[in-house]
Amino acid sequence: MIKPHGSDELTPLFVYDQSKHHELQKEAEGLPSIIINSAAAGNAVMLGGGYYTPLTGFMNVADTMGVAEKMQMTNGLFWPTPVINLNKNVDAIKDAKRIALRDPNVDGNPVLAIQDVEAIETLTDAQIDVITEKVYGTLDPEHPGVATFRDSGNIVVSGPIQVLSFSYFQTEFPDTFRTAVEIRNEIKEHGWNKIVAFQTRNPMHRAHEELCRMASEQIGTDGILIHMLLGKLKPGDIPAPVRDASIRKMVEVYFPANTVMVTGYGFDMLYAGPREAVLHAVFRQNCGCTHFIIGRDHAGVGDYYGAFEAQTIFDDEVPEGALDIEIFRADHTAYSKILNKVVMMKDVPDHTKEDFVLLSGTKVREMLAEGKAPPPEFSRPEVAEILMAHYQNQG
């Protein structure tokens, strides 16, 4: 099986040993504590599940700037985006060497992790600008990822962590949330050697479904990992339970049994386009996948990124050999009225715009809200039914 990033084995930071876990929970109640922001909580969950192998905790300012500017930590490790515990106020943990990190997303703010404090440093406005520009490619405050990052504070609390909870992900999504450890184990149980991963924060329409099928056939994979983001999204995005239900229905009806794993992970979307695409590749390598599909405007939002910048970053900025996972580059996909199937547009240069079934996301949402199913060439009827129920409930 493919090795995890920068390590021979996964390094999940969740404390699985029951007696140790109980001991730490007890200790945490007596420690100085802070309620961390949702992005840091998502990072703690990802560290706990082994997705961030080989990291041991939250980065300091030197590593944060190295990663932002050249995707490299001070120890030489390739890493695409900062993993930081940013705060606006740290009065509650002043001079503490060991602290409890409390969950902002669960009632009562239970302890999520314990952190050994190696340093408490302050980012300058200039450093925040550099991180924003490098990671998000823009300083525009309207960009949802930029807005969240710049509202998180400027105080960096760095050091290793021990994770005690997977937040709300395990309780709210028991059938879907999986750690990188669990996904690797399941891949081993299936006996799969070649696995292609598909990342989604949206329901999957026909084009997405066929893209997974095309990639699997062209690569010659044993299985497909459909891996959905379960964390916080921007307003207007479809909630995780609805996406989960629609994707599971599509897989159940349209894919052979035991060829697709439907799973999810606990992380807040960055909307960082190319940089986030590289981070997503790291996640999937750590899950044990050999290939990862990157399509048009992967992890993008609005018009901030070029259609295929999330692919070209792997050629232009990711050093040779930095990652073992291979990228499957997808073009625009749409249903061809001539061939009666979903195709990549680049593969049919003889087609005109009128030869495709093309619908904007806005148009699809309007149809679903009105109780009208999009054409079957665009969306499977079983999927459309679940989405229509969601949109009509919104009204």
The CB density around residue 242, as the number of other CB atoms within 10 Å, is 16
Q: pTM for this structure? A: 0.94
The CATH code of the domain at 175-265+271-394 is 3.40.50.620
Tell me which residue of 194, 51, 48 sits closest to 111, measured CA to CA: 48
Peptide bond into 274 cis (omega under 30): no
pLDDT at position 386: 94
Question: Looking only at Cα atoms, what is the longest distance across the chain?
Answer: 69
Interacting residues of 144 by C-beta distance below 8 A, sequence separation 6+? 234, 271, 301
Lateral strand order in the sheet of 291-294: 260-265, 223-229, 195-200, 291-294, 326-329
pLDDT at position 42: 97
Q: Do domains 18-167 and 175-265+271-394 have the same CATH topology?
A: no
Name the active-site residue from 98, 201, 213, 296: 201
In single-letter form, the type of residue at position 67 comes to V
pLDDT at position 391: 86
End-to-end CA gap in the chain: 48
The residues that bridge with 262 in the sheet, in sequence order, are 226
Tell me which residue of 76, 3, 60, 80 sits closest to 287, measured CA to CA: 3
pLDDT at position 368: 86
Q: How far is CA 34 from the centre of its chain?
A: 25
pLDDT at position 395: 60
Whether residue 200 contacts residue 330, with contact meaning beta carbons closer than 8 Å, is answered with no
Please count the residues of the chain.
395
What are the structural domain ranges in the chain? 18-167, 175-265+271-394
The CB density around residue 141, as the number of other CB atoms within 10 Å, is 11
In single-letter form, the type of residue at position 55 comes to L
pLDDT at position 130: 98
pLDDT at position 191: 96
Tell me which residue of 187, 130, 205 sits closest to 358, measured CA to CA: 205
The CATH code of the domain at 18-167 is 3.10.400.10
Q: Is 201 one of the annotated active-site residues of the chain?
A: yes
Per-position DSSP letters for 192-245, written without gaps between them:
-SSEEEEEESS---HHHHHHHHHHHHHHT-SEEEEEEE-S---TTSPPHHHHHH
Name the active-site residue from 98, 109, 154, 202: 202
Distance separating alpha carbons of residues 330 and 297, to the nearest angstrom: 10
Residue 40: phi and psi, rounded to 5, are -65, -35
Helix ranges (DSSP H) in 7-91: 18-29, 38-48, 61-70
Q: Which residues of the chain are modeled with pLDDT < 70?
A: 361, 395
Q: Which two tokens stand for residue 348?
A: 């049919």
pLDDT at position 266: 95
